[in-house]
Amino acid sequence: MGTRTRNRRLPDTHKPTTLAAYPQSRHKLETRPVTDNSSAPGQNPPKLDISVPHSARVWNYWLGGKDHYPADRMVGDQVMAMFPDITRLARADRAFLGRAVRYLAGEAGIRQFLDVGTGLPTANNTHQVAQSIAPESRIVYVDNDPLVLVHARALLTSTPEGACDYIDADLRDTGKILAEAARTLDFSRPVALMMLGIVGQVPDSDDPQSIIERLLDAMPSGSYLALSDGVSTSETFNEAVRHYNENSASTYHPRSPEQITGFFAGLEPVEPGIVALTRWRPELTPFAGHGEVPGMCGVGRKP
């Protein structure tokens, strides 16, 4: 699933992640916003409220990262108690990213990537994988979390031959995403649209299929969609999601395998098709892990 964040003025749809925008802790935590001063000249510095759990930081915690705070760890531990496999799910999703980008930059020859729902940088980010194969690759990341923005500026740096940019935007603001991405990407040439762990954070009422279609409509034939998300095939997972949804202001929406497959409508699935997270070309990297998790993924080519 993932860590895809959105503007705090709207319900959180963010990569995040498996359990979207996490419920606020009932414990009293420090409420002083943390301000980072690394913003670009002329811009207000992003403010980080560490008293509220955030999906990107909780996802980072599950991945074994270090960019999280007590509120994030508290909620992460609560979710792990309900669904212990959440860490395997997070890592399986991350491993799929590496395999998908290796295929796209390698066999498929893609040199442009639009990664919507970046999450906090860890190892093997999209630009690192793509540019290790094709240094001239151009990557645009999209997220809307101040901490992600801080890290993006510091860590998401390109090779001299390529380019790497970051857009602060809400998933559903496809017009802004496409307009700002066009500063770095050439939409007359194929682009790989990466949507990992984000669609489940969009309720049916917001029509996630239309979001995907609006983004793909701007891309020419030969472009690709790489998508992964949680599925409703595990009752343990579903129960954890129900518990979360009953105790939070926002919700996560695992869907059936048929619904996940439906997001690839009109595309040509790349072998082996739309499958479990650990079963999509696991031979491409040694990081696939073992055992099934309630997630599906796939890559589809726009004809």
Could you tell me if residue 200 is left (phi over 0), alpha (psi between -120 and 50 degrees) or otherwise beta?
alpha
Residue-wise pLDDT tens digits, 191-227: 999 999 889 888 999 999 999 999 999 999 999 999 9
Alpha-carbon separation of residue 288 from 58, 61, 113, 114, 125 (angstroms) = 21, 19, 22, 23, 16
Average pLDDT over the chain reads 80
Distance CA 141, CA 116 (A): 6
Tell me the pLDDT tens digit for each residue of 276-293.
999 999 876 554 455 689
Handedness of CA 166, 248, 91, 103 (dihedral sign): negative
Token output for 87: 């860490």
* The pair of three-digit structure tokens given for residue 148, joined into one six-digit string: 């992600």
User: How far apart, in Å, are the Cα atoms of 162 and each of 111, 125, 143, 185, 258?
Assistant: 9, 15, 21, 11, 37
Domain topology for 87-234+254-301: Rossmann fold (3.40.50)
Alpha-carbon distance of 15 to 198, in angstroms, equals 5
Structure tokens at 14: 């963010």
Q: What is the share, in percent, of the chain residues with pLDDT greater than 90?
A: 49
Is this prediction's pTM over 0.95? no
207 or 83, higher pLDDT: 207
Domains of the chain, by residue range, sit at 87-234+254-301
